[in-house]
Amino acid sequence: MALLQIAEPGQSQAPHQHKLAIGIDLGTTHSLVATMQSGLPRVLPAEDGSLLLPSVVRYLADGAVVVGEAARQAAASDALNTLVSVKRFMGRGLEAAHQLGDQLPYELVMHDNGMPYFNTIAGLKSPVEASAEILNVLRVRAEAALGGDITGAVITVPAYFDEAQRQATKDAATLAGLKVLRLLNEPTAAAVAYGLDQQHEGIHAIYDLGGGTFDISILRLHQGVFEVLATGGDSALGGDDFDHAIASWIMAGAGIVNPDAEIQRRLLQTSRRVKEALSTRESVPLSLAAGTGGAPADWQATLTREHFEALIAARVDDTLKACRRALRDAGLKPADLSEVVLVGGSTRVPLVRRRVAEFFGKPALDHLDPDQVVAVGAAVQANILVGNKPDSDLLLLDVIPLSLGLETYGGLVEKVVPRNTTIPVARAQEFTTFKDGQTAMSLHVLQGEREMVSDCRSLARFELQGIPPMVAGAARIRVLFQVDADGLLSVSAEETTSGVRAEIVVKPSWGLQDDDILRLLRESQAAAVQDMQARALAEARAEAERLWIATEAALAQQGELLSASELAELQAAVQGLKALAIADDAAAITAAAEALNHASETFAARRMDAGIRQAFTGKTLTDFEEH
């Protein structure tokens, strides 16, 4: 029955040609890369053997970038230039980014393109650029381990990521020089890893609580087909929030107000360790000396597991609400599920495990490393997508997490593709003109479940022009939404009686156009030069100031060592340097400083002689030898 002839992916290749494909879990807290070797998944280690790359990016003054553990260790001491949990900012506007918490130790700047940028010592950096740095390290790691160029990568995203967040992730991968085979939802990837481990048929719930995102996916697994029945979650809820809860508790207890960036980071790092300790211990003692972190007095307290659980109970309940909604969307009851699988580091928290087991009425599975399953699942799919396993039955059928729609009259949203629709999907909706003789129609594409435009995420606006003038209501505008297998949307509109068309691939307002990515690469190099110049000037000024202050102090102390003309010459050099320091010429300032250094050589020599004479006075040779 096939009219379309579609070649099997493997057919055109030589039988033994194995293409290098990787799966990347780009996580909030840490990231991993995995591949398939001899039919088995393997998480690729760094040179030091570590598998998890902390998702931390530090920008240095000289433009160098440090990623991973070394950057993580500087997170507190160099908070403003060290970006942690950058995934939480992906594809989000400035307002949404600020909603992530009032304790963000960053300087966020609104860019012209509507995206928030981090103001670092190396210039403005977008979340996409920072993520690209992480992906780049993983790409290099994979190339070194596999000994060749990577054909393509499957990058995982939270199932609940919206269009803008997905697009931002894809842009980051492109920026890192990776060919993206597919954006794969994290819970689906985890299900693949589990399905691969044991041939489990039936309906499964994947509860994935990471550092900064939460997903719940309900999947049916049947003969290699993973069909997502429903998904839900919160792309700004994760273990980070537990850390913040503990940090707030410490701040309240110790009386810390308005902590600076470094103190915030240290508090969060401490909170994180306390959280991890409470997974195995019943209580953790804490103490803070007066003055540390701005604490007004000595403070000692014990955080019990029970109290910690009370602090985070509401957030855990939020995850269960999302579970209930997903089950309802799938038309299922907890009893219909064969298994519940725990994914993500934050499922190590005992309260999470207990509540999930209670809600679903069955113990949760966690026999695979919750940190690694997502990368492993991504590697399995990458291997298939590059054509290394042409006879595989594995097929992943995912859904869109949030409804897609259009703005209609009165600021209302008309849903065109409801949430949990299997992708790829194409849906058309007809609209008509509102006024007599109307020749253009403005289309506003939105994502979300709410009825009002203002409550949904604005994805794109475009215009259909050249509609032949007709009476109101006579034109037939057919708007087609097409969502591809990555969950990315394109929208086209056509006036069907005349055939006038307009089309747009939805690049959310704060996403990057392909041209932008190239421009960004060039600009970031230019900006680095500019930043270097600014830094050179600041350094020259600081050095000049240090020099004239030292000279003036020495003159006040020991000016009598100089003759009148020598003194005048030196004072002139100081004034010359002070005058130049106001100008923006780093080279001139440095030259004037050199001149002052030169002019003070005689003075310095005489001071040294005088100093040595003074030191010898009243001391015997023996005293000196003993020293």
Partner 1 sequence: MNLNTDYFSLFGLPVVFELDANALQPVWRALQQQHHPDRAPADDPVAQRQALQMTSHINAAYDTLRDPVRRARYLLELVGQGGDAERVSVMDTDFLMAQMELRESLEEAAAVHELDAIEAEAQDWLDALLREFPLDYVAQDWPEATDCLRKMQFMTRLLAEIREQRERLEDELDDF
Residues with catalytic roles: 25, 87, 186, 208
Q: Which stretch binds partner 1 (CB under 8 A): 30-38, 316-324, 518-526, 617-625?
A: 316-324
Residues of span 137-176 touching partner 1 by CB under 8 A: 152
Binder to partner 1 among 393, 515, 560, 626 (CB under 8 A)? 393
Tokens 């913040």 sit on residue: 244
**Nearest distance from residue 227's CB to partner 1, in Å?**
7
C-alpha to C-alpha distance for 59 and 37, rounded to whole angstroms: 35
Cβ–Cβ under 8 Å, residues 590 and 547: no
Report 122-141 residues binding partner 1 (CB under 8 A). Answer: none
Other C-beta atoms closer than 10 Å to the C-beta of 590 total 18
Site for partner 1 in 569-588 (CB under 8 A): none
Per CB under 8 A, contacts with partner 1 among 395-434 are 395-397, 421-427
519 contacts partner 1 (rule: CB under 8 A): no
The answer to whether residue 12 forms part of the interface with partner 1 (CB under 8 A) is yes
3-class state of residue 381 by DSSP: helix
The answer to whether the peptide bond before residue 424 is cis (omega within 30 degrees of 0) is: yes
Determine, following the binding rule CB under 8 A, whether residue 178 of this chain makes contact with partner 1. no
CB of 3 to partner 1, least distance (A): 5
Which one of residues 8, 455, 503, 585 is an interface residue with partner 1 (CB under 8 A)?
Answer: 8
**Which residues, in sequence order, are CB contacts of 416 under 8 Å at separation 6+?**
404, 405, 406, 427, 429, 479, 481
Q: Is 309 in the site for partner 1 (CB under 8 A)?
A: no
Position 321 contacts partner 1 (CB under 8 A): yes
- Of the candidates 104, 121, 485, 528, which one interacts with partner 1 according to CB under 8 A? 485
- Judged by CB, which is closer to partner 1: 21, or 268? 21
Say whether residue 7 binds partner 1 (CB under 8 A).
yes
User: Roughly what angle, to the nearest 10 degrees, separates helices 514-558 and 601-616?
Assistant: 50
User: Does the footprint of partner 1 cover residue 334 (CB under 8 A)?
Assistant: no
Rounded to the nearest whole angstrom, what is the least distance from the CB of residue 234 to partner 1 in the complex? 13
| Closer Cβ to partner 1, 397 or 567, answer by number | 397
Task: State which of residues 69, 143, 197, 227 lies at the interface with partner 1 (CB under 8 A).
Answer: 227
- In this structure, the strands spanning 57-59 and 82-83 are antiparallel
Please select the residue that binds partner 1; options are 239, 387, 487, 511, rule is CB under 8 A. 387
Contact yes or no for 125/355 (Cβ under 8 A): no
Select 9 or 350, whichever has its Cβ closest to partner 1: 9
DSSP symbol at 411: T
Asked if 491 and 462 touch (Cβ cutoff 8 Å), the reply is yes
Kindly provide the residue ranges of all beta strands, DSSP E only, lying in 60-161, ordered along the sequence: 65-67, 82-83, 108-110, 116-120, 123-125, 152-157
Distance of CA 355 to the CA centre of its chain: 28
- Interacting stretch for partner 1, rule CB under 8 A, among 84-92, 240-248, 277-285, 394-402? 394-402
Determine contact, residues 345/318, Cβ cutoff 8 Å.
no
The enclosing H or E element of 397 equals strand 395-397
Q: C-beta of 300: minimal distance to partner 1 in Å? A: 34
Between residue 335 and residue 364, which ones bind partner 1 under the rule CB under 8 A? 355, 358-359
Angle at 173 between CA 265 and CA 491, to 5 degrees: 110
Complex with partner 1: residue 3 or 564, whichever CB lies closer:
3
Minimum distance from CB of 15 to partner 1 (Å)? 16
Distance CA 412, CA 434 (A): 15
Q: Least distance in Å: CB of 161 to partner 1? A: 20
Which residue of 273, 324, 435, 619 would you call a contact of partner 1, by CB under 8 A?
324
DSSP codes, 462-529: EEEE-PPP--TT---EEEEEEE-TTS-EEEEEEETTTTEEEEEE---TTS--HHHHHHHHHHHHHHHH
Cα Rg of the chain, angstroms = 31
Number of residues that bind partner 1 (CB under 8 A): 43
Asked if 497 interacts with partner 1 (CB under 8 A), we say: no
Q: Determine the interface stretch with partner 1 among 129-137, 265-273, 386-394, 568-576 (rule: CB under 8 A).
A: 386-394
What angle do helix axes 514-558 and 586-599 make, rounded to 10 degrees? 20
**d(Cα 220, Cα 226) in Å, to the nearest integer?**
6
Binder of partner 1 out of 325, 348, 419, 507 (CB under 8 A): 325
User: Which 205-224 positions form the footprint of partner 1 (CB under 8 A)?
Assistant: 222-223
Q: Tokens 């003075």 map to which residue?
A: 603
Task: Provide, rounded to whole angstroms, the least separation between the CB of residue 422 and partner 1.
Answer: 5
Residues of this chain that bind partner 1 (CB under 8 A):
1-4, 6-9, 12, 152, 181-182, 222-223, 225, 227, 317, 320-321, 324-325, 328, 355, 358-359, 384-387, 393, 395-397, 421-427, 482, 484-485
